[in-house]
Each structure stands twice: as structure tokens, then as C-alpha cells.
Structure 1
């Protein structure tokens, strides 16, 4: 909702048609992906949740880098709704990675070569357990909105995963990828749809984009 509101406001400012705003949206997404790819470059194993075009674009850029270390991406199915399944399909298609739809044998980052990136879809509770066991290096989330104080609105279930990262020893960083159209200039979130929740700013390591 927030990106649509901001896009409408920007169109009013520009007094321009949809094409101009669409171009700005695309440029903002690209900038966010570039920043995220740089921030995530050291990590070999990435966990993510739900579906975010910013996260998909960032993972694609990381996979394209010769100096990147990415080996595996674990995507929470994000139930109900199952947006994580389509996110995994998009990541696999964008990167040419192997897609595993079962959690029976998820591949760890130390068991594959750089050019054999694997993407696995996990049930949400199994992704949380993988985080608790420190079998991922970083949790990457998208955002429907980023509030003025750094709190984020994202798919319900995101906060639970972020708390699991905070409890891990040592803690696992939580990186949010969000372009400028996700910014919400208030400390209070917009009216939340049922499927969304607030992720407190103190659970987030960094917002990029």
C-alpha cells in the first residue's frame, strides 16, 4: 500500500503520467538492489521470507558477482499465502540456481561450489529452526513500509524470524531491502492489512536501499 501512496504523491509532484513515475520506481528498485548486493556480499547462506522484488533483484545481483560468496538461499514458504514459493521460483529463474521444493536435504553453504547456487523452500517453522541452529548467515527481508524510526512493516511471521536471529548466539544480522518508495514519514505505521505486521527497529541490523 505504501509504495502506491508514495507513487501517487510523486506523480502529483511531477504533474506527469504513469510512465515517468514507473521509471523512477524501476530506478529506485535498481539502486536498492545494488546497495543490498554490496551489503550482503560477505554472506554465503541467506535466509529470506515472503516475496519481495527488491530481495529477488538483490540476490540476482549477488549471484552475478565474480567476487560474491553466495552458496545457498533458504526461503520460508510464508504461509498462509505461500508467497515464499513464488519468491523461490523467481530467484531460481533469475539466477539459474537449482530449486529444491523439499526440506529433506537442504544444502549447506560449505558443500557446494560457487557456480552451483541452490535455492530451497522451507516450511516457516523449519526456516526458524535453521536460524536458531545458526545454519544461515543473514536474514534478508523486504518491506511494505519503513517507518521514520526504522521500524518495518512486512508479511506476518517476519518478526518471529527476526527474534530468532536476535536469540542466536552470536546473533544473526537482519537486513531489510527497501527502496525509497517504501519510506513512510511517520513513527506510526499505516493501517495494516491482516497479512502484515510490524518488525521493531531494534530487531533490524540495517535497512538498505
Structure 2
């Protein structure tokens, strides 16, 4: 489980360091240069982390294959559990400190992240807004979809639709123009497991308490 979570994290970092995203820049201390392209920085730590997940999964599958045919008693076959358990432990003990160092030294580019936000990402917030106004969710969902389609047809961002546009969709409340605020959208997700700062802080505190 730990290996799979680390692999998902590593893949996200690798993706967000690409030129297409440019959200992160890796520290030179935790990356290497390309043998061919002088401008390229290889995310070695994160690629190796992603690869180690395959090793850890393989160790688990090997152990499960040993266990699958055993009766409900102790058998000498169980001596074979030592290799995968110890190897998995050694792998994680070596991996986690290096990964933590690589994460601590990442440079973030908030302006690039903000520039990548598409108002259409908040179409669900539009549906929620309509529901709060008494519109059934099924209808609100359909209206949000029509709004996205209209914005595409007009080649304009969703948050730039005029009130005349909204009225053609049956939305007459001027407050609809205030829906497309990404920061407010994040802050409203304050349920357990949500993205609001307080919710994330609570999750981090809980995680730290578990591993303390």
C-alpha cells in the first residue's frame, strides 16, 4: 500500500515538472542531467520511486503465492516470508528519506498553476449553486453542461458568459458570476477528506499521529 501511494505521488510530481505543466522545478541535488539533451533535468528520485512500487508489489504477490495453499496451521513454507518482508522493509527505509528530501527541495510555481485553471473546472460549483437556489440536481447538472457547451461555442471562458447568456439557460441570479472563484471552491470543500485548508491540515495531523 505504501509503495503504491508513493508511486502515485511520484507520478504526479513527474507530470507536473514537465514543460507542458511547469508547476514544479526539481532541485539539482535530486535530479540528473540528460546524457543527450543539455537542457533536460531527469527526475531520477521520483522515477525510481515509481519503479520501486513494482518491486514491492512483486514481493507481496510472491508472499501471497506462498500463503495461498497452506492449511490453517504453521508450516515450514512460512519461512519464505522473511525474504519479501525484509526486502520490502529495507526498500522503504532507503526510499522514504530520499523521497522526503526531494520533496522538501522542490520549487513551486503558483503563478503557472493559477494560469492553468480553466473556469470550466468549476462547472460542478455551478451545479451546486443552482441546487442551493432550489433547482433539482439532475436539472442543475444539465444546465451546467449546457453552460460549458455554450462557452465552447462562443470560444469564451465559462466565467466570461454575460447575463444575457445565462438567461438563455434559465439562470437569472446575477450571483452566478461569482461562482467561478477557485479559492472559494477549495474552501467550501471542508468535509472530512476535503480540500479546504482546515480539512487538509486535519488530515495531515491525523496522518502524523498514526506514524508517530
- TM (normalized to structure 1)? 0.21
- TM (normalized to structure 2)? 0.21
Which protein has the bigger helix share?
Answer: 2
> Which structure has the higher relative contact order (CA within 8 Å, separation 6+)?
1
Which protein has the bigger strand share?
Answer: 1
